[in-house]
Amino acid sequence: MNRGPFIFLGVFIILSLTWALVINKPIQETGHLSPIFDAEQGGRLPIGIKGGAAQGKLVYQEFGCIACHTQQVRVAAGFDLERGWGERQSVARDYLDETPVLIGNSRLGPDLSNVGKRQTDASWHMLHFYNPDITSKGSNMPAMPFLFETREIVGEATSRALKLPAEYAVADGYEVIPSRKAEALVAYMKSLKVTYDLKEAPKSNDVMSEELSVALENAK
């Protein structure tokens, strides 16, 4: 018997199903998303990233921060809301303006989707980049002193200079000045916050607390 037509049909069915489920379904679900306009929440959503923050995003890519940090608040598979990493789940529409999207998949450090809300103080970020140990004792995050210039004070000390605690101070007569890259990176960190609601992901802890109670129940 000639099995050719059956083999062909089998392969055809498998490939068509794969195309339908793996390629077409996601395109139908998220491929045609567009921004929404909501006057109450400040106009176009997502808000988008501009100016110095956009420069900082390039620095973030350059230094491979994505190797340790995600930018996605997960609700279905984790306790991100409990950790204080966001007020709602991240959804596809949040990333519409992002090219490339820096979701990341490794969490050696905290998720940064809302770090701009947690850490609003620019000097905190500067000290943390200069040496994470200053703000977060025992941190595993690499120090980035190369983002700063240590230079001799000429005349008056510069107001932009880092206010280092005594044990990290540089030699007398010297000061540590943030570079443009450091400033852009801090602007980017401060811009990372989700301040708006989307109807597909309303700000609510209800979903999570229900899941949490189930998880806690199962853990007993």
Among 7, 14, 15, 67, indicate the residue that binds ligand HEC (CB under 6 A). 67
The residues near 187 (Cβ < 8 Å, ≥ 6 apart) are: 51, 52, 53, 55, 56
Which amino acid is present at 166? A
For 32-43, letters b (16+ CB in 10 Å) and e give eeeeeeeeeeee
What is the Rg, in whole angstroms, of the alpha carbon atoms belonging to the chain? Answer: 24
Among 54, 102, 141, 143, indicate the residue that binds ligand HEC (CB under 6 A). 141
**Which of positions 69-88 make contact with ligand HEC (CB under 6 A)?**
69
Closest C-alpha to 58, from 193, 187, 185: 185
Among 34, 99, 105, 140, indicate the residue that binds ligand HEC (CB under 6 A). 140
Nearer to ligand HEC, 60 or 95 (CB): 60
Closest C-alpha to 134, from 166, 157, 112: 166
Number of residues this chain uses to bind ligand HEC (CB under 6 A):
21
Q: Cβ 123 to ligand HEC, closest distance in Å?
A: 13
Q: Cβ 141 to ligand HEC, closest distance in Å?
A: 3
Q: Cβ 209 to ligand HEC, closest distance in Å?
A: 22
CA dihedral 158, 163, 164, 165 (to 10 degrees): 140
Among 127, 189, 198, 201, indicate the residue that binds ligand HEC (CB under 6 A). 189
**Which of positions 45-64 make contact with ligand HEC (CB under 6 A)?**
60, 63-64
Binding positions for ligand HEC, rule: CB under 6 A:
60, 63-65, 67-69, 108-110, 115, 118-119, 132, 136, 139-142, 185, 189
